[in-house]
Amino acid sequence: MKLVWVHGITCCGNTHSFLNYEYLDSLLKKIDILYHPSLSVEEGNVLDAILEEKIKLDVLIVEGAVSKEDEKIKKLCHLADFVIAVGNCACYGNIPALTKADVGGLQFRFKIKGGLLGEDFVSRGGYPVINLSGCPAHPDWIVGVLLSLYNGEKLELDQWNRPKTFYSSLTHWGCTRNEYFEWKIEMEKLGSKKGCLFYYFGCRGPMTYSSCNRILWNGVNSKTRAGTPCFGCTEFDFPRIGLFETKLFAGLPVELPIGVSKRGYIMLAGIAKTFAPERLKLED
């Protein structure tokens, strides 16, 4: 399978993530990377040959936000069997799109469908742009999708064009702090091993779809496990102001966990806090 990886407006964080894949040597036996900005010496000959349709392109990966005027990336997308937007910038625009109206993702600009390619774009392989959101995307998510395409497996995508295999569960699932969340035991200081980060420190694990606590980073960790809140970087509205702060109104979080009503939250939170086990209240 022939692959090209190109950069838009990017910090290259997803390239760093990809190069951390543990079994990269094994992957490269199945996938022929014709061009990657960090792995290839020259881009001109290969990309020109693809644009002239002298070389067939199976997979195009775009990293970084794109300008609406970027005709080269647009043409490459139309020539590839499958197009993957890797990272939140390529999916939704992210930081580069905050101050520039003509910058966005490949098929979205934040929550508005469209982007560089338009909302009706479908690649030659029959998919819209496959979005692997995140800042960065996990290397296992990138490789998992590549291997699925290589093996001819069907991908199920959600409303944001993300593979359900990696984005159908909340970051909250698998978090080692869930017992503190259930009993409403707040974390007292960042980096602490105990306490939940949702109530005061802005954790968006209960409102964010990702598998960060099921497929661990470097096989061992995640933000919440390390004592840092989930910033919700796989969602269209990332980044936000006040990443380490839970916005409150009348003592209640302005945004509640997905599927939880305000009435239910008030009833359960009060009971949980009152009857929380003493062992959970002992910091570290």
Q: Nearest to residue 138, comparing CAs of 81, 79, 57, 219?
A: 219
3-state helix, strand, coil in the chain (%, to 5): 30, 15, 55
Omega of the bond leading into 257 within 30 degrees of 0 (cis)? no
**How far apart, in Å, do the first and last CA atoms of the chain sit?**
50
Annotated binding site for [4Fe-4S] cluster: 11, 89, 135, 172, 175, 196, 203
Long-range contacts, stretch 53-57, CB < 8 angstroms, 24+ apart: 53/79, 55/2, 56/2, 57/2, 57/4, 57/81
Other Cβ atoms less than 10 A from the Cβ of 60: the count is 25
Q: Which helix (H) or strand (E) holds 112?
A: strand 112-113
Annotated binding site for [3Fe-4S] cluster: 212, 230, 233
Q: Distance (Å, rounded) from C-alpha 161 to C-alpha 180?
A: 33
What contacts 253, CB < 8 A, 6 or more positions away? 198, 199, 246, 247, 265
Contact 191, 227 (CB under 8 A): yes
Q: Nearest to residue 84, comparing CAs of 50, 48, 131, 138?
A: 131
Facing residues of 249 across strands?
252
Q: Nearest to residue 6, comparing CAs of 41, 31, 43?
A: 43
Annotated binding site: 11, 89, 135, 172, 175, 196, 203, 212, 230, 233
